[in-house]
Each structure stands twice: as structure tokens, then as C-alpha cells.
């Protein structure tokens, strides 16, 4: 068998899972896409996992109840772990509303490889941005179990070990730069500049 | 979003799924491990998916009934597709006993990216080799739904488009060389020698 260590050496990186979580509208998708593009420019080998490429395939048939969300996230975490075993850097973007969901992800991925990032913006700000029109739909009652209303988002406690990015206090470009500067040192094998 | 095409260009390869199927003992695991090692030496970026890294994680809780096997294989195929979207070459090794299982994998992965390989050896040869001691257990009644006895293995028809590797007619080293020579041209972007 070809080991993970050998694959990481080949790709000249440490395989890690950067897990962006937070409310819809907090900026996760924009940051995840921008981060993957930035990491590619830095010479890393990455893959992006989000609801768009998981819900329609691997997680088809799962709904939005707490149990279905937990199974959804369990499968995503298992897939992220497979990518880590392949030596890849994973950027994951999921609401991951409950502390027990995040604990499950940490347990599956493994603490040493898990970089949780709370993309933090208030419910009011997210509802005002509403990039997918979900808050408007939820207000009209057309979306069941919408996080922040029917089902809760649990703000992470300090002992969850998540790094916090407050997107209300920066422009999107600034947030991305802040995130990139925090992430990249975690991925370097040797501290040297890549690419 | 970073496209698959961009990721393949970076990795200088065509992302494909080489799906080895056949009876337990036909030689799938040995070939899959050897093929991954060989492809790495040729400069490809690969990952191996097999029962060992899937059954204990993503597919925990699924059994060996036809339906559970189908769900098991559906999830593996969805994961293989995610790796292909990441630009990677996947080597998959699963019994995949029924034609409808293989059709499901082809449908999910997509015909253009799917390279099915039937690792063919007779039941008698596999039972004699019995590398995992499963045939002996099955003969004693200790393994339920063992492929080849309680549940059938459907030999692929010509129109399944599988390439056949008859491991009874070659040494393991010869089989691996034959497989590698068949696979590599499918993965090259430009026909040039790699690594």
C-alpha cells in the first residue's frame, strides 16, 4: 500500500481539512471558492466539498432533520478523511449547525487534521445578505427546518477549538486574505514558500 | 470554482476510475496495490478505494445483502466521482458481483471516465488460493451470502465493455504488467512519457 505520508511528500503538503461552518449567508461558499483558488495559486493540491456536490450525489435522499443532517455530515467527514489519506487538502463548506455535528466531524477526520473555521455573521446580517433567497423563503414559511429559525445554530464554545472569522467586520477580499494567511502555514511541510 | 479540467492540467493526467471487479481471490487487491504503486512511479496522482477503507468508515452498518451491496457500491461510485472531479486517478477494487451493480457504477462515474476491468479466475482457482480464508469459512457455513455460493457472481457480457484480465494464465507480475500497459495510455493527456 502507498502510505498517506508518501502521498503528502509527493504533493509537498500536509493533508488537512479546513471546515468552514456557520449560517447560510455568512460567506462560507464565497470564502471556500476563493480559498481553493488561492491555495491552488500557492501550489497546493486541493478539493472543495460542499452541499452542491454532495447533496445531489452521495447524500441524495437525506433531508434536513437533525438526524439526516448528522448522517449527511458523517458521510462528508468520511469522504474528507479519504481525501486526507490521498494526501489532499480539503476545503469543506457546510452549515454544521450543532456542536454535536462538529464533534462528529472532528472525531471522524481526527483532531490533528481538522481545522474548523467559524464563519461568523449575525442572523440579521445573513438575512439581509440572503444570497440564495433562503431567508425570504423561510420568512414566508416555504423552507422547512431552516437553520436559525426552526432549527438552531449553536455558537461554538471556546473548547471546540474553532478559529473565528467575523465577516461583518471585513470586506470579502479582506476576509479571504485573513483566512488564507491563517490556513497556509498549517499546510506547509517545511515552512518554505511554495509555487 | 476551480474546474476539473484545470485540476487535471495541474496534475498532468486524465482523471479516470479503474474499477477492478471479480471473485474474492481472483487477485484484485494485489493488482490494485501494485497498480497504484506503478502509477505513482509513472508520475500519476492516484488513490485506492477498496473494502478496507470504505467498509469501516463511509459504509459502516451496511451488510452483504444485494440491496446493501448496491448501496455500498453506489456510495463508493459517488466517492470515486468526487475524486475524478478533483482530477485524480482512482483505483477501485470491489467484487461488484451483479451486472446491475456494474451498471450503477458506470452510470454514476460516467462512461467516459469509467475503465472496468474484470479480474477473472475460476471459482475453483479462487477457492484454492483463498488468500483471506473466506472460501474455507464459507464451506463451513460461517460466512453468510458469500459471493460464488449463496449469492451469485454474474460474468460480464461483452456489451458491458469490461476489459478482461485472466489471472490464471499469468504470474502476478505478468498480470500487473499487462494491466499497467493497458491502463497508462488512458491516463496520459498528450501521449508523452511521464515521470
The model's confidence at residue A192, banded by pLDDT at 50, 70 and 90, is low
Whether A194 shows a pLDDT value over 50: the answer reads: no
From CA A72, how far away is CA A98, in angstroms rounded? 13
Rounded Cα distance between A188 and B6, Å, is 22
Mean pLDDT check: name the lowest of A8-17, A134-143, B56-65, B164-173. A134-143
Check if the beta carbon of residue B134 is closer than 8 Å to that of residue B143. Answer: yes
C-alpha grid cell for residue B131?
488468500
- Cα(A142)–Cα(B190) distance, rounded to whole angstroms? 51
At residue A165, the pLDDT reads 97
User: Around Cβ B135, how many Cβ atoms within 10 Å?
Assistant: 23
Which residues of A lie closer than 8 Å to B, measured between beta carbons?
Answer: 1-2, 6-7, 10-11, 33, 36-37, 40, 45-49, 53, 57-58, 75, 78-79, 81-83, 85-86, 88, 108
Q: Are B149 and B58 in contact (CB under 8 A)?
A: no
Cα–Cα nearest to B65, from B98, B104, B92: B98
Taking all residues of chain A, what is their mean pLDDT, rounded to a whole number?
91
Min Cα distance B57 → chain A (Å) is 6
The confidence score (pLDDT) of residue B65 equals 84
- For the record, the C-alpha cell of A166 comes out as 467575523
Q: If you average pLDDT over residues B17-30, what whole number do you get?
A: 95
H/E segment holding residue A61: none
pLDDT recorded at residue A148: 65
**CA dist B154 → A54, A139, B95, B118, B160 (Å):** 31, 53, 10, 11, 11
- Please report, to the nearest 10 degrees, the dihedral formed by the alpha carbons of residues B87, A4, B194, A49 taken in order: 10
Q: Which of A23-37, A72-86, B32-46, B126-140 has the lowest mean pLDDT?
A: B126-140
pLDDT for res B6? 96
* Chain B positions touching chain A (beta carbons under 8 Å): 1-2, 6-7, 10-11, 33, 36-37, 40, 45-49, 53, 57-58, 75, 78-79, 81-83, 85-86, 88, 108
Residue B95 pLDDT greater than 50, yes or no: yes
- Is pLDDT at A28 greater than 50 in this prediction? yes
pLDDT for residue A106:
97
pLDDT of residue A96 exceeding 60: yes
- For B4-184, give the CATH class: alpha beta
Cβ(B50)–Cβ(B93) below 8 Å? yes
DSSP B12-48: TS---EEEEE--TTSSHHHHHHHHHHHHHHTT--EEE
Cell of B137: 469459512
DSSP labels for chain B?
---HHHHHHHHTS---EEEEE--TTSSHHHHHHHHHHHHHHTT--EEEEEHHHHHTTTTTT--SSHHHHHHHHHHHHHHHHHHHHTT-EEEEE----SHHHHHHHHHHH-GGGEEEEEEE--HHHHHHH-TTSHHHHHHTT-STT-BTTTB---PPPGGG--EEEETTSS-HHHHHHHHHHHHHHHH-SSSPPP-
Q: In the predicted model, is pLDDT for residue A152 greater than 90?
A: no
Residue A149 reports pLDDT greater than 80? no
* Residues, chain B: 195
Residues of B in contact with A109 (CB under 8 A): none
The verdict on a CB contact (< 8 Å) between B58 and A75 is: yes
Rounded to two decimals, the pTM is 0.93
Tell me phi and psi for residue A67, to 5 degrees.
-70, -45
Annotated domain spans of chain B: 4-184
Higher-confidence position of B116 and B63? B116
Task: Say yes or no to pLDDT of A42 above 60.
Answer: yes
Q: pLDDT digits over B132-186, tens only? A: 888 888 888 777 677 766 568 999 999 899 999 999 989 999 999 999 999 999 9
Instruction: Please answer yes or no on whether B82 and A37 come within 8 Å at the CB atom.
Output: no
Q: Which helix (H) or strand (E) holds A90?
A: strand A89-93
Q: How do residues A66-86 score in pLDDT, each as one tens digit?
A: 889 899 999 999 999 999 999
The rounded mean pLDDT for chain B is 91
Amino acid at each position: 500500500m502507498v502510505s498517506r505520508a508518501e502521498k503528502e511528500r509527493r504533493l509537498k503538503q500536509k493533508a488537512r481539512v479546513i471546515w468552514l461552518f456557520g449560517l447560510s449567508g455568512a460567506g462560507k461558499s464565497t470564502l471556500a471558492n476563493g480559498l481553493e483558488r488561492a491555495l491552488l495559486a500557492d501550489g497546493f493540491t486541493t478539493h472543495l466539498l460542499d452541499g452542491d456536490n454532495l447533496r445531489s450525489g452521495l447524500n441524495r435522499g437525506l433531508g434536513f432533520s437533525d438526524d439526516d443532517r448528522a448522517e449527511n455530515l458523517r458521510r462528508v467527514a468520511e469522504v474528507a478523511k479519504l481525501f486526507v489519506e490521498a494526501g489532499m487538502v480539503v476545503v469543506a463548506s457546510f452549515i454544521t449547525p450543532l456542536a454535536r455535528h462538529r464533534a462528529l466531524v472532528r472525531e471522524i477526520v481526527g483532531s490533528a487534521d481538522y481545522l474548523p473555521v467559524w464563519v461568523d455573521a449575525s442572523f440579521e446580517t445573513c438575512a439581509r445578505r440572503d444570497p440564495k433567497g433562503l431567508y425570504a423563503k423561510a420568512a414566508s414559511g416555504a423552507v422547512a427546518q431552516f437553520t436559525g429559525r426552526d432549527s438552531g445554530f449553536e455558537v461554538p464554545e471556546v473548547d471546540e477549538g474553532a478559529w473565528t472569522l467575523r465577516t461583518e467586520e471585513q470586506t470579502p477580499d479582506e476576509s479571504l486574505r485573513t483566512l488564507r494567511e491563517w490556513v497556509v502555514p498549517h499546510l506547509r511541510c517545511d515552512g518554505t514558500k511554495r509555487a
